[in-house]
Structure 1
Amino acid sequence: MTQPRFDVLCVGNAIVDVIADASDEFLASQGLTKGSMRLIDEGEAERLYGVMGPGRELSGGSAGNTAAGLAALGCKVGFMGQVADDQLGSIYRHDVQSLGVEFLVPPRSGIGATARSLILVTPDAQRTMNTFLGAAQLLDASVIDHSAVADAGILYLEGYLWDPEAPRAAMEAAIADAKAAGRRVAFTLSDTFVVDRHGPDFLRLAAKGKIDILFANAAELAAVTGEAEFEAGISKLAPSVPLLVVTHGDQGAVAVRGEERARVAAEPIGSLVDTTGAGDLFAAGFLAGQARDLGLEQCLKLGAIAAAEVIQHYGARPEADLKALAGDLLA
């Protein structure tokens, strides 16, 4: 097979993050559960924005963050996500393309506003996300660049985008393209609320051989397997996919591929500032290793390095030189 145009092509929600500090008392006053993610409508987005503290506006979205991390690690990356033909949409496209990521979906008019996520960060660095999906939930199968998908070594999909009907169909079309071209499909469960709604769908995809690499964190693993104990969850899910990757917070991460298993510790950090994007950047590091045919332990190490960088500052995009941090792993 010829060298692909993209090492990884990411498909996900194109969302502008608005990040603000908040107290536990503020979360309680708004009826919010710390560390959760909820979907809100445009009216609630405007109301909450009006009462939250000063925010920092940064381009985000789970798969978009992963694309940014992959580009920072020297990979050839494409991104497919829907933005509106508005100011936030222009900002998002510019931000992504400035990182060296090829944005493959044109903006659309008449579909409302570009998505935004209002992220409240408490002093313990936990983030509570309030997401208005807007235009992002209108990614349509008709705009999927089939040749680009077929020419990507790995297709990476975020579970968040599975919730609305239109992008679910778009993702299914992309999976079909990737499989027809003999490419690998990576999928992240994204959040327990997504698993609660669509866990059976994801397990069916795995059973049909449509997922080659599955990412989950400990909470998502428990939700999709019904096993509260971490190792029991891994034992139950690992046989369903060729490669299972599970992050476990400050306890590190595990990867299982058939009889092969690897585990790494979390990277040491100076200070924990904001956990937004930790899983996204971990996936970026791991996939960068996969694109280079590195071993499981090396891939996990790259993921841990990228995740450690992003949790030491606000925002879900890397600020330090990830290639320098990776050192000999990318030599």
Structure 2
Amino acid sequence: MTSPIHDPSYDPSYDVVAIGNAIVDILSQSTDEFLAVEGMTKGSMALVFSPADADALYAKMGPGTEASGGSAANTVAGLAALGSKAGFIGQVADDQLGEVFAHDIRAAGVHFATAPRTGEPTTARCLIFVTPDGQRTMNTFLGASQYLPATALDHALIADAAILYLEGYLWDPEEPRAAMREGIRIARDAGRKVAFTLSDVFCISRHGDDFRALIADGLVDILFANENELLALADSGDFEAAVATVAAQVPTLVVTRSEQGAIAVRDGRRVAVAAEPIDRVVDTTGAGDLFAAGFLHGQAQGQGLEASLKIGAICAAEIISHYGARPMHDMKALVAEKVGR
């Protein structure tokens, strides 16, 4: 079964172009006790609203590692590692962390040409505390990323991609929200597909009505959610009822369920795959992002739902087996070994 993304009648320059937060991740090992003392909710994402608060929390971190991140940026980096043609649009500042982000994402094989922003605030950073069970608790200072203007969008780039991928995290600030709406318009006018990831229950609590309106208006072709996000979007405590409600409103619904694997529903047809087995969960940072990369890669290559879910599960398993949200193994070889192509 050919995917709706893969259309042999045209040959786009890019399989996926994403609009998202341009963030540098700083990861450090932590404990449940530390999270409790700092008032953090384990496994969640919280915003840090001032540079001073971000600096104070950073000072309390143990030894850490830096890597460019951001949800949609992680996804396109994964897509590039799989062999897809990917681009990214996101705002960094004209500072050292901005240079780190730009270098990392270009080195990953992703097209990135958004001009850096001068002046304050600094490039966004996400302080990630990883507990021994591999759960990550994120504290994000959005910095320059929340000032992505619609004027920064590369219209030709969006129009020449088979699919535009948007992250719910970026919906919070007003300016990039307007830019994402403009991106949807550009993609729609060009006859392209739009994918949207809900990102976090936190995002739904703040912007659920907007997300539901996008879906109701038929502006989302592929919706990514984890189980908790789906329940929040559907305002339901029952998983099956939530699946039925949301799947009836979007052409393709993809839901990840951690150790229970993932499902996809399209045109009333539902398929499921199991989670890929791994020896130990080290860090769940980026698991959903890389799952989306695998699924979108499969779709861009003309794979069916089940194979695309399988590739997503392989990518998620690889990313949770080590620290950081970018692949560390040969993803093409890994997928070829486990999927066969």
| TM bin (shorter chain) | over 0.9
Q: Which residue of 1 aligns with 2:206?
A: 197
In structure 2, the partner of 1:175 is: 184
**1:81 aligns with one of 90, 115, 122:** 90
Match of 1:152 among 161, 186, 204: 161
Unaligned runs of 5+ in 2: 1-8
Q: Map Cα deviations across residues 269-323 of structure 1 (whole Å, 9 max, x no partner).
A: 0110000000000000000011112100000000000000000000000001111
CA distance in 2, matches of 1:19, 1:98: 20
Separation (CA, whole Å) in 2 of partners of 1:35 and 1:286: 23
Cα distance in 2 between the residues matched to 1:10 and 1:199: 21
Shift of 1:28: 1.1
Identity %: 60
TM-score (norm 2): 0.96
Aligned pairs for 1:9-48 within 5 A: 9-40=17-48, 41-48=50-57
8 Å CA contact 1:323, 1:330 repeated in 2: no
Does 1:307 pair with 2:316?
yes
Deviation string, structure 1 residues 187-241 (Cα, Å, up to 9, x no partner): 0000000011111111111111110000000010111111122211101110110
Aligned residue number for residue 219 of structure 1? 228
- Determine whether 1:243 maps to 2:252: yes
1:19 counterpart letter in structure 2: L
**Residues 109/330 of structure 1: CA separation in 2 closer, same or farther (3 Å cut):** farther
Residue by residue, what CA displacement relative to the aligned partner does 1:109-149 show, whole Å, maximum 9, x if unpaired?
A: 12320000000011111111000000000111001001110
Matched, 1:95 2:95: no
| Aligned residue in 1 for 2:115 | 106
Letter of the structure 1 residue corresponding to residue 85 of structure 2: K
Shift of 1:104: 2.8
Code of the residue aligned with 2:173 in structure 1: it is P
Where in structure 2 are the equivalents of 1:281-320 lying within 5 Å?
281-320=290-329
Structure 1 alignment gaps of length 5 or more: none
The answer (yes or no) to whether the contact 1:276–1:315 under 8 Å persists in 2 is yes
Q: How many residues align?
A: 331
What's the CA shift for 1:85?
0.5
Q: Which residue of the partner structure matches residue 62 of structure 1?
A: 71
Q: Would you identify which runs of 4 or more consecutive aligned residues in structure 1 move more than 4 Å?
A: none
2:262 corresponds to 1:253: yes
Task: Find the residue that maps to 1:233 and give its secondary structure.
Answer: helix
**Deviation, structure 1 residue 330:** 6.6
Distance in 2 (alpha carbons) for counterparts of 1:265 and 1:257: 18
Asked if 1:123 is matched to 2:132, the reply is yes
Q: Work out the CA distance in 1 between the residues paired with 2:221 and 2:151.
A: 25
Q: Distance in 2 between matches of 1:104 and 1:259?
A: 40
**Which residue identity does 2:75 align to in structure 1?**
T
Distance (whole Å) between structure 1 residues aligned to residue 146 and residue 19 of structure 2: 12
User: How big is the alpha-carbon RMSD for the aligned residues of Structure 1 and Structure 2?
Assistant: 0.9
Tell me the amino acid that sits aligned with residue 45 of structure 2: M
Matched, 1:186 2:195: yes
Q: 2:113, 2:308 → 1: CA distance?
A: 27
Q: Once structures 1 and 2 are overlaid, which stretch shifts more, 300-309 or 24-33?
A: 24-33
Q: Equivalents in 2 of 1:165, 1:104: separation in Å?
A: 22
1:296 is matched by which residue type in structure 2? L
